Chain A
């Protein structure tokens, strides 16, 4: 799973949807692999307003690297291309993601997150 994707995922378990803990999902025992992607300023300027930056910072800490605490402005982002590519995030992770109250842990298998729910949680 890419870091970017995680920033848009929320827990789909019915009982959790309204809980503030349903976002962000947390990484555990995740193994990080990074792959560079072409820098795409247009995509970033489109996405940046929609990113939940505090959640992105949390995710990055769980994965063992740091991002600035405040959302960078785009001009600066383009200057510091390292945080830019991080946000564009071709991070592939194995491990688990789950939410805070740990009702469900989602296995990440070869980077694919499992979001199938047992029927009583739908």
Chain B
């Protein structure tokens, strides 16, 4: 399957023709609606909330938010003027902004109860037109997303990574920003496979990311965290050179005076009487 992400920047790919074609396709309408409903289910919002829709396009995802039970209020941001123009024509309820998520989100801290992004963040895996690399764009995006959600807030991003490498690059950028993160995969190993990155901002109700799916049917949980933690520990076993170097680095950062490193640092010493 050809990926538009690999060929053109988003604002050029989603031109007037493509935006109209995209929005009027009933196949696409159905897929976007069902993915947005899944995202809403993962958010589990019980009161009418303020939601940010990132890469809102022509509003196919947003209108599901307006029609939700309870109905939510949303603000949408997209980089494609043509997509936004279609959204205006369709008189969606959400308020629309033209912007590039890879530049960071322009909201004050703690603004939103939740955020969704449906089929958009894989676009961040490409350089932008100015040659800014994906890592920088991903961290600008996730850092600013983290900040503009309120404590206890959640975000769900459905996305289409090209491969496992892209998937991991996106996930680690989210974790680095401070989110609790989990990946939900629907219809795994089929061509309809759908990937949802579930993100939580620290707070009472959000202590454990697996809590998000606790009451959902047919979801198996694979908890990777213990393994990751053990791996991180294993990497610097006490007494090894790596461990000593890390300690020294930490002390240095605290402003302590630390002996300079040499080839003798952390060497094995023979026993002497």
Q: How far is the CA of A8 from the CA of B147 in the complex (A)?
A: 12
By the criterion CB–CB under 8 Å, are A47 and B132 in contact?
A: no
Tell me, rounded to whole Å, the shortest Cβ–Cβ distance linking A5 to chain B. 4
Tell me if A10 and B106 are in contact (CB < 8 A).
Answer: yes
Q: Contacts A42-B70, A122-B103 given: A50-B110 contact, CB under 8 Å? A: yes
Write out, one digit per residue, whether chain A residues 42-64 have a CB within 8 A of any chain B CB (1) or not (0): 11001100101000000000000
Are B111 and A116 in contact, CB atoms less than 8 angstroms apart?
Answer: no
A residues 80-122 touching B (CB-CB < 8 Å) = 110-117, 119, 122
Alpha-carbon gap, A69 to B140, bound state (A): 36
Q: Is the Cβ of A111 less than 8 Å from the Cβ of B48?
A: no
Interface membership of B104, Cβ < 8 A: yes
Whole-angstrom CA separation of A5 from B140 in the bound complex: 21
Check if A23 sits within 8 Å of B75, measured CB to CB. no
- Interface size classification for chain A: 20 to 34
Find chain A residues with CB under 8 A from B210 CB: none
Per the 8 Å Cβ criterion, residues 69-97 of B in contact with A are 70, 73, 75, 77, 79, 84, 88, 95-97
Interface centre among B103, B106, B150 (most CB of A within 10 A): B106
A89 closest partner in B (C-beta): B95
The residue that B98 contacts in the complex, of A23, A46, A47, A113, with Cβ under 8 A, is A113
Q: Contact between B108 and A1 (Cβ–Cβ < 8 Å)?
A: no
Bound-state CA distance A9–B107 (Å) is: 4
* Total A-B residue contacts, Cβ distance less than 8 Å: 82
Q: Which of A11, A52, A112, A122 contacts B88 (CB 8 A)?
A: A112
Interface residues on B, range: 20 to 34
In the complex, what residues of B have CB within 8 A of residue A122's CB? Answer: 103-104, 132, 140
Complexed CA–CA distance, A8 and B74 (Å): 12
A115 & B77 in contact (Cβ 8 Å cutoff): yes
* Cβ proximity bits B135-169 to A, threshold 8 Å, 1 near / 0 not: 00000100010001010000000000000000000
Residue A26 CB within 8 A of the other chain: no
Set of chain B residues within 8 Å of A11, measured between Cβ atoms: 106
Docked Cα-Cα span, A5 to B150, in Å, equals 16
Q: How far is the CB of A78 from chain B (nearest CB, A)?
A: 14
B103 CB contact (under 8 Å) in A2, A9, A12:
A12
Q: List 14 A-B contacts (CB under 8 A).
A: A4-B95, A8-B111, A9-B107, A12-B144, A42-B47, A43-B49, A43-B50, A46-B49, A50-B50, A112-B96, A115-B99, A116-B79, A116-B100, A122-B103
* Chain B contact residues, CB within 8 Å of chain A: 47-50, 70, 73, 75, 77, 79, 84, 88, 95-100, 103-108, 110-113, 130, 132, 140, 144, 148, 150
User: What 9 pairs across the A-B complex have the smallest Cβ distances?
Assistant: A12-B106, A115-B99, A43-B48, A8-B111, A10-B108, A119-B130, A5-B95, A2-B95, A114-B98
